[in-house]
Amino acid sequence: MALNKMLAQAGVRDMLRYVGDDPDREGLQETPARVVAAWSEWFSGYGKDPKDLFKVFEDGAERADEIVLLTNILVHSHCEHHVTPIIGVAHVAYIPNGKIVGISKLARLVDLYARRLQVQERLTNQIADAIEQHLEPQAVGVIITAKHFCMATRGVKMPGVDTTTSAMRGAFRESQAARAELLDLIKLTK
Ligand SMILES: [Zn+2]
């Protein structure tokens, strides 16, 4: 087993002991390995470069100068302060400027950044920045609404609270009309 994985599993054993349990009892014997495997999945976004998602098409983009919008993309991330889940949805929109991207790639982009330790504000901006950088569109809009389990299950313990963040670029930032059209479209899809 790789040294890093062994150290990670030893760390989980320490935490199990720290909370008052016995990592050697039968039910917990496989737990360190499972926890490390789960972390590898939850944080698989570190090994990935968003650039690889942007296979850009010009064919089909000739007359595409209206909003392209994906709604309700699952956001499954983790708070970098408590390593607890952030669960919600993202709405991602852009207005092409001669280039389009496979729409599933935008959902993958959300997932790539979500699978890192995050604060919701940074997650929202990173998605918008990557689209802006690789597609050079007329506008980009990203809106995320999510529940933070660190707030729902500890501290103030308010499970009902949703956090919404947005990142607007280009026309969605500069033009009230363009932004209003985007928000209307999102409302329509609810
Ligand atoms: Zn937190």
How many other β-carbons are positioned within 10 Å of the β-carbon of residue 48? 16
Say how many Å lie between the CA of residue 45 and the centre of ligand 1.
19
Question: Per the structure block, which two tokens stand in for 179?
Answer: 């932004």
Neighbours of 101 (CB within 10 A): 21
Which of 9, 118, 120, 138 is an active site residue?
120
Report CA(161)–ligand 1 centroid distance (Å).
13
Helical (H) or strand (E) element with 140? strand 139-148
Summarised one tens digit per residue, pLDDT across range 50-89 is 999 998 888 888 878 899 999 999 999 999 999 999 999 9
pLDDT tops 80 at residue 156: yes
On average, the pLDDT of the chain sits at 95
pLDDT for 1: 72
Known catalytic residue: 150? yes
Question: Which pLDDT belongs to residue 11?
Answer: 98
Within 10 Å of residue 1's Cβ, how many Cβ atoms? 8
Query: How many Cβ atoms sit within 10 Å of the Cβ of residue 140?
Result: 25
CA-based torsion, 114, 116, 122, 128: positive or negative:
negative
Overall average pLDDT of the 122-150 stretch: 97
So what's the pLDDT on residue 59?
82
Residue in this structure with the two tokens 């059209």, named with its chain if needed:
181
Round to the nearest angstrom and report the end-to-end CA distance of the chain.
48
How high is the pLDDT of residue 56? 85
Distance 139 CA to ligand 1 centre (A): 31
Give me the pLDDT at residue 13, please: 98
pLDDT at 65: 87
Interval between CA 25 and ligand 1 midpoint (Å): 30
Query: 58: exposed, middle or buried (C-beta count within 10 Å: 0-12, 13-18, 19+)?
Result: exposed
Active-site hit among 30, 62, 66, 80: 80
Burial class (CB in 10 A: 0-12, 13-18, 19+), 176: exposed
Residues 147-165 have a mean pLDDT of: 93
Instruction: Give catalytic status of residue 81 as yes or no.
Output: yes
Q: Is 148 a catalytic residue?
A: yes
Q: Is 138 a catalytic residue?
A: no
Catalytic-labelled residue, pool 29, 30, 66, 81: 81
Nearest alpha-carbon partner for 124 in 152, 98, 92: 92
Q: At what angle do helices 120-135 and 103-114 cross, to 10 degrees?
A: 140
How close is the Cα of 150 to the center of ligand 1, in Å? 5
Residue 134 catalytic?
no
- Alpha helices (H) along 28-170: 31-42, 103-114, 120-135, 149-153
**Helix orientation angle between 31-42 and 3-18, rounded to the nearest 10 degrees:** 110
What is the distance in A from the centroid of ligand 1 to the CA of 110?
Answer: 19
What confidence tens digit (pLDDT) does each residue in 111-126 have? 999 999 999 999 999 9
